[in-house]
Amino acid sequence: MLERYHAILEGREKARYLESKENGNFYELIEKAWDLFSRCGLCEHRCNVNRHRQHGICGVKQASIASHFMHYGEESFLIPSYTIFFSGCNFKCVYCQNWDISQGQSGLYIEPERMAKYINEAYQRGAKNINWVGGEPTPNIPYILEILKNSDTNIPQIWNSNMYLSKEAMDLLNGFIDLYLADFKYGNDGCALRLSKVRNYTSIVKRNHKIAYENGMLVIRHLILPSHVECCSKPIIEWIAENVPDAIVNIMDQYYPTYKAYEYDELNRRITVQEYKEVLHYAKELGIHVVE
């Protein structure tokens, strides 16, 4: 699954955005991205607002960067990862562990030319990838493309996201993303609506995971929520085994109650060792490629 990633790092292959530049598709991507931005349909909320003038559910107009730095907390094969955190998010997760940046517009607009320089400097300092995250990167796709327009650094681009993008936005990613670091949070739409305030979660996110699997390298992250093993963790694992069997899966145990989690009885604790073991065992039993 990660062969191409290593080939880019070793300079044997080109990052996808450089390929797109060579075959001329890149500039078409930028045009399409700004078009989607002007009647926003970048994610499946499809707010249809002109983002030059107003924001939609995500609260984002112009891109706002909360921080950017060399990150050592990602999966071992991804570090050091030059991680760019955007403010704002199209999800309203009541337990968000980054709520201070996801649920506001803190941060700064940084000129794309300057960000392109930071990317090159990070590469020179040993970064293995550029990790677009938030909040959520989806509302900022046109801005990210403007940065990459100014860059010629051969470094893999990672899409670190809740995967609630529209189909059109997924098509855009296919032109510049090498590796998808994709959250899979819920096994049913009821939990998604109750805890993240999003509709039709499962059909959208499953569609996008399949697209990512076909188009690039897919690493799925699943954060186990307390008391959500049967309704969420297990159905997700079953779906992965059946539909994207070669994906690498990180089953995460680091949930802790924060933000509004205290208002939800079952979320008001960490997960138990038993819950973690149960999910891990189930994943291994179904032949999932688990990274620990």
Number of other CB atoms surrounding residue 241 within 10 Å: 17
Q: Are 158 and 35 within 8 A, CB to CB?
A: no
Q: Which CA distances in Å does 138 have to 71, 162, 281?
A: 20, 9, 33
Q: Which of 18, 57, 63, 170 binds ligand SF4 (CB under 6 A)?
A: 57
Residues near ligand SF4 (CB under 6 A), total: 15
Residue 46 or 234 with smaller CB distance to ligand SF4? 46
Q: How near is the Cβ of 60 to ligand SF4 at its closest, in Å?
A: 6
Chain residues 128-187 in contact with ligand SF4, contact rule CB under 6 A? 138-139
Q: How near is the Cβ of 49 to ligand SF4 at its closest, in Å?
A: 6
Q: Are 188 and 202 within 8 A, CB to CB?
A: yes
Between 5 and 44, how does the x/- string for binding to ligand SF4 read (CB under 6 A)?
A: -----------------------------------xxxx-
Task: Name every residue whose Cβ is closer than 8 Å to that of residue 251 and which is 6 or more positions away in sequence.
Answer: 222, 224, 233, 276, 279, 280, 283, 290
Q: How near is the Cβ of 173 to ligand SF4 at its closest, in Å?
A: 14
Chain residues 37-56 in contact with ligand SF4, contact rule CB under 6 A? 40-43, 45-47, 49, 56
| Helix, strand, coil shares, percent, the chain, to 5 | 40, 15, 40
Residue 118 or 143 with smaller CB distance to ligand SF4? 143
Residue 57 or 78 with smaller CB distance to ligand SF4? 57
Determine the residue type at 193: L
Q: Are 283 and 290 within 8 A, CB to CB?
A: yes
Give me Rg for the CA atoms of the chain.
18
Measured CA to CA, the distance from residue 148 to residue 229 in angstroms comes to 40
Residue 99 or 276 with smaller CB distance to ligand SF4? 99
Residue 90 lies near ligand SF4 (rule: CB under 6 A): yes
Residue 196 lies near ligand SF4 (rule: CB under 6 A): no
Interface residues with ligand SF4 (CB under 6 A) are: 40-43, 45-47, 49, 56-58, 60, 90, 138-139
